[in-house]
Structure formats: structure tokens, C-alpha cells
Amino acid sequence: MSKNPPLLSISDIFKNANYSIPIYQREYAWTITEVTQLLSDLCSQAKANQNDNYYLGTLVINKGIRDIEEVIDGQQRLTTLYILLAYLSHNKESSYNLNFDFDTLLFDSRPHSISALQAVYHKKLDDVNEPAIKATYKIIRDNLSQYFEEFSITEEEFTDYLLNKTLLLKVTVPPDTDLNHHFEIMNVRGEQLEKHEVLKSRLMGFLKDYPEDRELFNTVWEAASDMNRYIQLFFTRITGDDTKNSRKKIFGNDGNTIPECYEELLTAFISTQEVYEKENKSSKSSLNKILESKEIIHLEKSENKEYQEQLTAVINFPNFLLHVLKIQENNKDVALDDKQLLKQFEQVYNYKSDQSKFAKDFCYSLLKMKFLFDKYVIRNLDLGQDTKWILWKQVHQFQKGKSHYFKDTFEWAEREDENNNDNNRIIMLQSMFHVSFPTRIYKHWFNATLYHLFNNSKRGVIEAEELIAYLEKLNDAFFFDRNQSSDDDLAYEEIIFNNKALAKNNTVSDDIWSLGTQTKNFIFNRLDYLIWYYSTIETETHKNLISIDKAKNFQFGFRSSVEHFFPQHPRNGDEPPFDNIDCFGNLCLISQQKNSRFSNDLPKAKKANYHRPDDKPESLKMELMWENADNWNAENLEKHEKLMIEILNSTYEG
């Protein structure tokens, strides 16, 4: 590798550059997850650390012939930055002009990729024939301004920070390097110690004089760190002898309650460890014995084994730790960004007079919130060809020959319609929030939900009606208090910590109904939830909006493309039959996949070519739009928009 490789700004990375992506590299493959994560990371840094440099990663290159630099590592990020800079140069509100040529980045032996980037460079999106590259441009177009608003920064501030304060380490490999072998090594090389592992070591250091507390802390931390598995599974389950059954002692007779406080948790944990030590008469720590035991829970067979490895959490462990800290400390200033994990914890525990107490409190909070998360927050279940949102609890059995199994967290006894039960309503509310705010950092809906569960559950139990009422109020607050004029929007922390999710406004700014593709995804998802709600309950208002079968088949997916039903640039040049093509009534939120098929057809042609009445609905708003697609005129548009706004402005009345 080159000695003392330079840290270069993004501006310098692209200045007079000539990069080539070798054929052995995979094609460009970033999705909405990676792109929005990059955008939110950059906006977060530009806001919080505007005077500091931000290290974005490493760009590894090999000097080729004619000064061409082959990209060995970092091509996904480099390609995304190229597309991002192209978009900034296209935005009419931006003063930024590209300072590099379209052929600054080329793909070896991939003419379609080359022409796609060239089309992006010249803002000829209709000519972009690489789906991933086209999708990234649209993701940036549809989401970047929302991040500007979210983090209260201007486009000029963002662009300046991106070009001049965001850095890449540019590393040149030595001549005659076997590049294929080097690339393979880079993809299997182990990672350095992660930040959350450093944090664990520091917090356990506060307990150096408390060996039993250290042992409990380690057990809880390891149990909580696997976000895709339920926390009970990491505590021993031994049938026939409750004195050794830490799972039953801590989580109760069916595994669905928790101790009331730290002292109760520690007592339950120690009591089972003492039995092990007495019986085994060994100097080994009881923790090691538990880990070595064949009776450790993750070796047992679940009665729902086919589902065990198919559940995916909505958040990762480092960000979850920040939520626990923010809620435990009731501290609105804790930043929910895992890049700042160590810094955020330091700013709390460095000012504690008793750091051992802080570590103990955090141990209990971590167990309690992971338990509440497992039981009351949605997961995604992978079914192979499809996925679904689930809200399951684990029921644990302690008789010989029995194991644990999954069931709905809230049962729906005495209800005729399974789509109308409390469990499904909570799933719809939480999935509405999650697909609207899919990034892992600054997941405010999740923070609000966990905050309410932590402060309002009793021994890890909360009633369905209580949780539904809170989520409905949160839905209203996110809509009414976050869609005023930009200066009057309430901060999320004010909504969650000060107002307890009670909306302070009951109207929104009229400006949000004419934003075109800049309309927030949450507004569409809230609308779809309300249409679903009114279609599946007995109500005097908004009856028969959509068929019950359509409502039953609807679930929220990750849609990020705001599109015009009557297109901005019709294929045949037709003029729209109404004045404002950007009005909310003419807009729909669809997936990138569907967007790539929609093209510039008129509504009638879209319906004929792409709408299948028996298909699972992607958007309930769009289902209503299809009904008038054959005659999408000013009258039908106005009628549709008026009804949609009326539904959006309705509030939860409990």
C-alpha cells in the first residue's frame, strides 16, 4: 500500500480524476437502505459537526495505463457520490456546478452502465437503462430535501460540507499486485473491534468491584445484542428444578414478565448461579458454565423452529443502545446516531458521581427494553417469495418435553373479522411508521414507542388498548405538528418527551398539498393506514372506501418513489386537464420497481397495462385512483383530493 495515503475531500477525489471499475467488481447494487443511510449520515454530520471533517471511508485504487485509476474497493460509495453530485448540479435551487467530466467514472466492459452514468450526468433520466443507477438518482431526488428539513440545514450548507469537509482515504496498491487476490482478501478480512464492544468493556469496568453484577451485566448484554432473537432464549432453561432455571426465575412461569427493578433481577439471577457453583464445585465462573452447558436455550428446539431464523428486527444493536440511554436518562439531547455511540455515552456517564450505579441501571434498562422490544415491536418475517410484518411473543413452557412457541402478542377473542383485531392494528400502525422512516439512525417513532412502553408497562406487560391509543396519538402528532411552516414544526423530542405524543396543532400548512415529488412519504402512508382503518371497522364516516378484501390483502412495503398519476411529460404530449400537476390528488407513492414500469403513460394506459384487480394492493390511495383512471379529469381529481385531505385531517378520538 502507498505510504501515508492522502485524506482527500470529495471535491479533490473527483477533480481531474479518471476512475475505472474493473470487470471483476460486482455491478452497482446499492438500494434505498444504503442510499438513504448515506444521505442521513451526511446531513447529520453537516448539522452536528459543520466545522469538523467527516471520514467517509477508504477508496483503494490501482494505477493503470494512461493514468486510469482502477477502483479496487469503494466503488459502490464512489458511484453513489457521482450520482449525488450530478443531482445537486441539476437542482434549480442549487448553485453547484459539476467540476468534473461525465467520463470521470467508467465501467470496464459494461457499456450499459457507462451510458447510464452519462445520462445521469446530463439529466436525461429517460435514457438511464440501468435500474439500480436510475433508482439511486430518484431516491436522492425524492428524499434529500426531506433530510434537509429533518436536520434543519440548507442545500448550500449540505453541498459545502459534502465537497469540502467529507473525506475519503485514497490508498494506492503497489505495482504488480494480484488485484483479484487482493480483492478477495479485502472481502473476507475481519473487522476491527466495534464501538459497542468498546462500550461494553467500559461499562463493565465500572463494575470491577462487583463480580456478581459484572456477570449479570455480561449475560444481559450478550442476550440483548442479538436483535433478531428473543432475549429469554439466552437464559438457562432446566426442567424439573426451578432452583437452576434462570429463565423462569427472571421471566416468570410463561416467560412473559420481568422483574420490577434491578435488585430483583440481580437476586433472581444470582440464586440460580449459586446452585451451579455449589453443585459443580469449580473455580470456573458460573457464566462460563452456563455458556458451556448443553441446556443453554439456543440449543433447544422451538416448536416454531421454521420461523426462528426468519425474523428480522427493525433496528440494529448499536442504535438500540442509544435509544435505551436516551429513554433511561430522559435526555432529549442524546443523538440517535450510532456513529456517535461512544461520544453520547461519555457525555452521560462522565458526569455521574456513581458510575457503578449507572452501569447497574443501564443493565436493567437494557433487559427491560429488549424484552419490551421483543414483545411489542414488529418484526419482518421472511417467507421466501414474500414477507410479512408480525407482532409475536414467545410463550415458554418448563415441563419436560416442552419448549417455547410463538403466538400473537395480543389475541383477538370474540371478534369475527381477523383483520379487525388489536394485534393487526398495532402491526399496521408500526409498519406505517417504519416504512416512512426506514433509516436506522434517528428513528424517532421507535424512540417514542419504546419510551411509552418503558414508562407505562408493569413488569413488562401493557394492554393493547393503551398501546393503540398511544400509537394513534403519535400518528396525529407526527402529521399535524411536523407539517406546519418549516419554522413552526415541532422537534421530535418535544413531541415525544414534552407533549407525550399529544398533538398541539389540528391543522397543517396548505403548502404541503402542492409539493409534487417532495411530498413526504409519511403523508401517503398515514393516508393508506386511515383508508385501511375506515375500511375494516364499523364507522359512520368514510364508509365503503375500499372493499374489505382489498383492505385485508394490504400491508405496508418500502415505497420511496412519489410519482404523478397524470405524468409530467406525457408520452404523446397531452396537456393535463387541470392546472396544478403537482397537487396531492395527482400523486401516488409507489415502489422503485413499479416506478420503472410506469413510464410516461396516461392514467388510462397505466391502468390497462399495469393494474390487475386481483393483485395485492401496493397503495390504497392508488386503488381509489384506479377507479377514475379512465376519466382522470379536473372534476374527479378535485373530488379525490378533497376526500384524501379530509381523511388525513381526521384525528384519533379514542
- Provide the pLDDT for residue 284: 37
Q: How far is CA 328 from the centre of its chain?
A: 22
Reduced to 3 states (helix: H, G, I; strand: E, B; else coil), residue 483 is: coil
Q: Are 284 and 278 in contact (CB under 8 A)?
A: no
103 grid coordinates: 467520463
How many CB atoms lie under 10 A from the CB of residue 627?
A: 12
- Closest to 182 measured CA to CA, from 191, 192, 174: 174
Q: How far apart are CA 193 and CA 173, in angstroms?
A: 25
Reduced to 3 states (helix: H, G, I; strand: E, B; else coil), residue 339 is: helix
At what angle are helices 75-90 and 155-164 packed, to 10 degrees? 140
| Strand-by-strand arrangement of the 105-107 sheet | 7-9, 166-172, 54-63, 69-73, 19-21, 105-107
Q: Are 398 and 248 in contact (CB under 8 A)?
A: yes
Reduced to 3 states (helix: H, G, I; strand: E, B; else coil), residue 446 is: helix
User: Residue 184: which H helix or E strand, with range?
Assistant: helix 179-188
- Provide the pLDDT for residue 606: 87
Q: Strand 561-564 and strand 587-590: pairing?
A: antiparallel
Categorise residue 67: left if φ over 0, alpha if ψ from -120 to 50, beta otherwise: left
The 3-state secondary structure of 1-20, one letter per residue: CCCCCCEEEHHHHHCCCCEE
Q: Are 595 and 627 in contact (CB under 8 A)?
A: no
Specify the residue for cell string 405524543. Answer: 501
Q: How far apart are CA 110 and CA 105, in angstroms?
A: 12
Reduced to 3 states (helix: H, G, I; strand: E, B; else coil), residue 396 is: strand
- Provide the pLDDT for residue 333: 94
Q: How far apart are CA 300 and CA 233, in angstroms?
A: 9
What are the CA-CA distances from residue 49 to residues 42, 140, 147 (Å)?
A: 10, 22, 16
- Closest to 624 measured CA to CA, from 609, 603, 597: 603
How many CB atoms lie under 10 A from the CB of residue 415?
A: 11
How many CB atoms lie under 10 A from the CB of residue 632?
A: 23
Q: How far apart are CA 85 and CA 136, in angstroms?
A: 12
555 grid coordinates: 400491508
How many CA atoms lie less than 13 Å away from 337 in the CB half-sphere? 17
User: Residue 533: which H helix or E strand, with range?
Assistant: helix 521-536
Q: Are 589 and 524 in contact (CB under 8 A)?
A: yes
505 grid coordinates: 396543532
Q: How far apart are CA 433 and CA 268, in angstroms?
A: 37
What are the beta bridge partners of residue 461?
Answer: 458
Query: Which stretches of the chain drop beneath a pLDDT of 50?
Result: 1, 184, 187-192, 275-302, 414-417, 420
600 grid coordinates: 410516461
- Give the chain's radius of gyration (CA, Å): 27
Q: How far apart are CA 557 and CA 436, in angstroms?
A: 9
**Residue 361 corresponds to which amino acid?**
D
- Provide the pLDDT for residue 596: 57
pTM for the predicted model, two decimal places:
0.79
Specify the residue for cell string 442479538. Answer: 226
